[in-house]
Amino acid sequence: MAELWEGYLWPGIIIVAQIVAIVLPLLVAVAYLTLMERKIIGAMQMRRGPNVVGPWGLLQPLADGVKLFMKETVIPTGASRAVFLMAPMVTFFLALIAWAVIPVNEGWVLSDINVGVMYLFAISSLGVYGIIMAGWASNSRYAFLGAMRSAAQMVSYEVAMGLIIISVLLTVGSLNLSDIVHAQQKSVWFLVIHFPMAIMFFISTLAETNRHPFDLPEAEAELVSGYNVEYSAMTFALFFLGEYANMILMSGITTILFLGGWLPPIDIAPLNWIPGPLWFIIKVVALLFVFVWARAAFPRYRYDQLMRLGWKVFLPASLGWVVLTAAVLQFTGWSPWN
């Protein structure tokens, strides 16, 4: 009995508590990210943004949540029911499970696995399923077109993202996310070493999360709202939450790969008083601000331009950078294996 408790039950309870400690702040962050987006865009367009519900509109996300919760879930005639209901769950589920390997401080990670980067890459390459399943199961032309666009777009930009990650991994010599941050502790942030790639990675994450200026899957003007047009109430809310959780996730990945994770910019007195998790949050919020900024500032790309950028600009450039990184590491002897 004691063995059962020590061996299985107690670790199980600890793991569940850790999961709750990750997921709850994440969901609150997602809710307030929507408010942050509306407030920032409001400010950029010289409006006030939501300011009625609660002080400065701070309770707006709760009101939105309650509204979506009370609405009726409509399943269209001719929809493939099981797939239709599974699609938003898949999207939301994938946006959450990726956080299992994200380290927010020295050792603050649910599962410190050796192949953390591969895990994140696998999860982000699955994100396309929620969308493509939704588009197909809705039995609607608009939804289907949106899903097709989205699938092609996400698959295209994953290639460039993978190659950029490879050049980071070459400089680190490990697939473990904490090791990536430690490597930046020893040298400088990879933003400096891999400067053009960091920008390209961020642009790819915009495309990967279907955000402006690459939000073609839900181009309102042509496709009404794209893959999620047939969804209502909580099924829609799950898509919405999934999309925003993905934005936070992608910002987190960018922070770990290029902005030094929980590390302060330089290790001197006033900066290293701020605890690590706070640095992580500051960096993620700064990146999220750029996400919103891009939405307010740029017009939408045309679809062929999007594909051209992905395949003819990002892919060759990132491939060339992988070769360059490998060559520099080999000939200068800076390779992590020497």
Partner 1 sequence: MIIAGLAFYLFAIIAVAAAVMVITARNPVHSVLWLILVFFNAAGLFLLLQAEFLAMTLVVVYVGAVAVLFLFVVMMLDLNTQVLREGLAEYVPLGAVIGLILLVEIATVGGSWLLSPEMEQVRGAVARTDITNTQALGNLIYTDYVYLFQAAGLVLLVAMIGSIMLTHRVRPGVKKQKVAEQLARGRTVEVKKVPTRGGI
User: Any long-range contacts for 139-145 (C-beta under 8 Å, 24+ apart)?
Assistant: 139/76, 139/77, 139/78, 139/79, 139/80, 139/230, 140/76, 140/229, 140/230, 142/223, 142/224, 142/225, 142/226, 142/229, 143/226, 143/227, 143/228, 143/229, 143/230, 145/223, 145/226
Residue 138 phi/psi, 5-degree rounding, is: -70, -20
* Ranges within 3-32 binding partner 1 (CB under 8 A): 8
* Ranges within 268-327 binding partner 1 (CB under 8 A): 304-305, 308
Q: Which CB sits closer to partner 1, 20 or 313?
A: 313
* Ranges within 174-203 binding partner 1 (CB under 8 A): 175
330 touching partner 1, by CB under 8 A: no
Least Å distance, CB 260 to partner 1, is 23
Least Å distance, CB 91 to partner 1, is 15
Residues 6+ apart with CB under 8 A from 55: none
DSSP 3-state of 210? coil
73 touching partner 1, by CB under 8 A: no
233 touching partner 1, by CB under 8 A: no
Query: What tokens were used for 290?
Result: 């750029």
* Ranges within 126-155 binding partner 1 (CB under 8 A): 126, 128-129, 132-133, 136, 144, 148, 151, 155
99 touching partner 1, by CB under 8 A: no
Q: Which CB sits closer to partner 1, 161 or 191?
A: 161
**Do 208 and 157 form a contact (C-beta atoms < 8 A)?**
yes
81 touching partner 1, by CB under 8 A: no
Report the C-alpha gap between 211 and 291 in whole angstroms: 8
Q: Which CB sits closer to partner 1, 36 or 175?
A: 175
Binding site for partner 1 (CB under 8 A): 8, 80, 83, 113-115, 118-119, 121-122, 125-126, 128-129, 132-133, 136, 144, 148, 151, 155, 158, 175, 304-305, 308
